[in-house]
C-alpha cells in the first residue's frame, strides 16, 4: 500500500481561485500517478491533494514491495524538480510525503454509474496511511513489513518507534532513502555471501577468450543462454570480478519485470552509470554531467545531448527537441 500527499496543501489553496490551485497541484498529482504506473501499480483513489495506490493487487507480482519503494522514490524526485520551479516562479515551498506498508488486504471493486475503482481495507491499509502522516516533507516512511521484502534492493534508515493510533505497541518505522546497489537476486545474494563457484571452467574460458580478442581491438558480443537457475548470472559475475577486468569500465543493465512499462529502461540505466548520475543529482547537475562528458569526447556530439537529457528527464521544457513527434523522438 502506498499513500502520498502534499504537505501543508491548505497553504497552497488559501487566497487562490480553483484554477490557480489546480495549476499548482495538478502536476504534483500527475507526477505521483506517473510514478505508480511506471512500476505497474494501481492508483485506486485520488484524494484531492494526494493518492492511494496498490502494488501486488489486483494484479499479483512477487516484487510488489520493491516496485512500491521505487515508485515512492521516483515521485519524490519528480516533485522536487517541479518544486524548484514553483519556488522560483511563485516563492512557494512545495513537498510531498509518502507512506508504505506491506501485508494482507481485502480488495473489492466499487462500481459507480460512470466508473469503477478498487477499495482496499485492513490493518495494512491503516498502517500505510499512518506512515504517510508521520513522514517528514520530502521523505518516504515505511514499516518493518516492507523492509523485510526489499532487503538489498532499497536503502533504508531505521527511525524511532512511532505511536500509532489503534496499535497497543509503538511501530518501528524506517525511512526509504534510495535504491540499493542490488538490482537482481544475485546481487542481493552477493551481499549475504555466495557459495563456492565450481564446474564452469569451460564457459569461463570462453568469456576470457572473447575478452582477449576485445583487448586487441576486435569488438566482441557474447550471448549466454540456458535454463533458469543454472547459473548464468553467477558465471557473468565471476568473469566481471576476475583479476583480468579490474581496470575495465563495466556498465550493467537489466530487464526487470516492470521494465516493459518504461521506454528505453536498459539504455537509461547504462547512461546513468556512464555519466555517474546519482539519485540525488539535481536537473542542473545532470545537465552539466551529460554536456561536459559528451562534448569532451567530441564537440560534434552536441546534437546528442538533448535526446540523452530527455531520456534522463532532465531536458529543459523549452528545448526544441520536445516539440518533435514520437517517431522523430525514436529516430
When divided into structural domains, the chain yields a total of 3
Assess if residue 258 is contained within a domain: no
Residues 79 and 222 in one domain: no
What pLDDT, on the 0 to 100 scale, is given for residue 68?
95
Sign of CA dihedral 187, 191, 37, 138: negative
What pLDDT, on the 0 to 100 scale, is given for residue 115?
55
Residues 220 and 177 in one domain: no
Instruction: Look up residue 287 and give its three cell numbers.
Output: 545537465
What pLDDT, on the 0 to 100 scale, is given for residue 81?
86
What pLDDT, on the 0 to 100 scale, is given for residue 114?
56
What pLDDT, on the 0 to 100 scale, is given for residue 105?
81
Sign of CA dihedral 202, 204, 205, 211: positive
* DSSP letter (8 states) at residue 57: S
Instruction: Look up residue 290 and give its three cell numbers.
Output: 551529460
Query: Please, are residues 193 and 168 in contact by the beta-carbon 8 Å criterion?
Result: no
* DSSP letter (8 states) at residue 136: P
Assess if residue 227 is contained within a domain: yes
Query: Please, are residues 6 and 49 in contact by the beta-carbon 8 Å criterion?
Result: yes
Residue found under cell 516512511: 141
What pLDDT, on the 0 to 100 scale, is given for residue 110?
67
Residues 109 and 209 in one domain: no
What pLDDT, on the 0 to 100 scale, is given for residue 117?
63
Residues 279 and 233 in one domain: no
Cross-strand bridge partners of residue 99: 3, 141
Assess if residue 295 is contained within a domain: yes
What pLDDT, on the 0 to 100 scale, is given for residue 3?
95
Residues 293 and 147 in one domain: no
With H, G, I as helix, E, B as strand and everything else as coil, classify residue 9. coil
What pLDDT, on the 0 to 100 scale, is given for residue 131?
93
Assess if residue 254 is contained within a domain: no
Residue found under cell 544475485: 186
Residues 9 and 133 in one domain: yes
What is the per-residue DSSP string for 75-103? HHHHHHHHHHHHHHHH-----EEEEE--S
Query: From the first residue on, what is the mean pLDDT of each consecutive set of 10 residues in the chain (331 residues)?
Result: 84 66 84 92 86 85 90 93 82 90 81 62 86 93 93 89 83 90 69 77 93 94 90 89 88 79 86 89 92 95 94 90 89 87
Cα–Cα nearest to 183, from 103, 276, 235, 251: 251
Residues 47 and 167 in one domain: yes
Instruction: Look up residue 282 and give its three cell numbers.
Output: 539535481
Residues 83 and 226 in one domain: no
CATH number for position 31: 3.30.70.1230
Q: Which residues of 89-103 are buried (b: 16+ CB within 10 A; e: fewer)?
A: eeeeebbbbbbbbbe
What pLDDT, on the 0 to 100 scale, is given for residue 12?
62
Query: Please, are residues 232 and 226 in contact by the beta-carbon 8 Å criterion?
Result: yes
Assess if residue 69 is contained within a domain: yes
Helix, strand and coil percent figures for the chain, each rounded to 5? 45, 15, 40
Distance of alpha carbon 286 from alpha carbon 272, whole angstroms = 9
Residues 224 and 171 in one domain: no
Assess if residue 240 is contained within a domain: yes
Assess if residue 250 is contained within a domain: no
What are the backbone dihedrals phi and psi of residue 288, each rounded to the nearest 5 degrees, phi first? -65, -40
What pLDDT, on the 0 to 100 scale, is given for residue 16?
66
Domain boundaries, position 312: 263-330
Assess if residue 256 is contained within a domain: no
Residues 196 and 318 in one domain: no
Query: Please, are residues 100 and 140 in contact by the beta-carbon 8 Å criterion?
Result: yes
Residues 19 and 166 in one domain: yes
Residue found under cell 491548505: 10
Residues 146 and 200 in one domain: no
Amino acid at each position: 500500500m502506498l499513500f502520498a500527499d502534499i504537505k501543508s496543501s491548505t497553504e497552497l489553496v488559501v487566497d487562490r481561485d480553483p484554477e490557480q490551485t489546480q495549476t499548482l497541484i495538478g502536476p504534483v498529482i500527475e507526477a505521483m500517478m506517473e510514478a505508480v504506473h511506471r512500476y505497474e501499480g494501481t492508483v485506486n483513489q485520488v484524494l484531492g491533494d494526494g493518492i492511494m495506490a496498490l502494488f501486488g493487487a489486483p494484479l499479483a507480482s512477487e516484487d510488489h514491495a520493491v516496485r512500491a519503494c521505487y515508485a515512492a522514490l521516483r515521485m519524490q524526485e519528480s516533485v522536487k524538480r517541479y518544486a524548484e520551479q514553483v519556488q522560483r516562479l511563485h516563492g512557494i515551498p512545495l513537498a510531498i510525503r509518502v507512506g508504505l506498508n506491506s501485508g494482507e488486504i481485502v480488495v473489492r471493486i466499487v462500481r459507480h454509474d460512470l466508473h469503477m475503482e478498487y477499495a482496499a481495507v485492513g490493518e495494512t491499509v491503516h498502517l500505510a496511511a499512518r506512515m504517510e502522516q508521520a513522514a517528514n516533507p520530502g521523505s518516504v516512511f515505511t514499516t518493518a513489513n516492507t523492509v523485510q521484502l526489499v532487503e538489498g534492493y532499497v536503502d533504508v534508515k531505521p527511525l524511532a518507534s512511532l505511536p500509532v493510533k489503534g496499535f497497543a505497541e509503538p511501530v518501528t518505522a524506517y525511512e526509504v532513502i534510495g535504491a540499493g546497489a542490488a538490482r537482481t537476486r544475485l546481487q542481493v545474494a552477493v551481499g549475504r555471501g555466495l557459495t563456492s563457484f565450481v564446474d564452469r571452467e569451460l564457459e569461463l574460458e570462453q568469456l576470457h577468450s572473447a575478452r582477449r580478442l576485445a583487448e586487441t581491438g576486435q569488438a566482441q558480443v557474447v550471448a549466454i543462454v540456458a535454463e533458469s537457475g543454472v547459473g548464468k548470472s553467477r558465471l557473468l559475475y565471476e568473469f566481471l570480478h576476475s583479476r583480468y577486468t579490474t581496470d575495465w569500465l563495466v556498465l550493467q543493465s537489466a530487464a526487470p519485470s516492470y521494465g516493459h512499462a518504461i521506454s528505453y529502461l536498459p539504455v537509461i540505466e547504462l547512461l546513468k552509470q556512464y555519466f555517474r548520475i546519482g539519485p540525488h543529482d539535481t536537473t542542473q547537475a545532470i545537465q552539466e554531467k551529460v554536456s561536459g562528458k559528451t562534448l569532451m569526447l567530441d564537440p560534434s556530439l552536441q546534437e546528442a545531448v538533448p535526446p540523452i537529457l530527455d531520456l534522463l528527464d532532465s531536458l529543459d521544457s523549452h528545448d526544441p527537441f520536445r516539440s518533435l513527434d514520437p517517431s522523430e523522438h525514436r529516430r
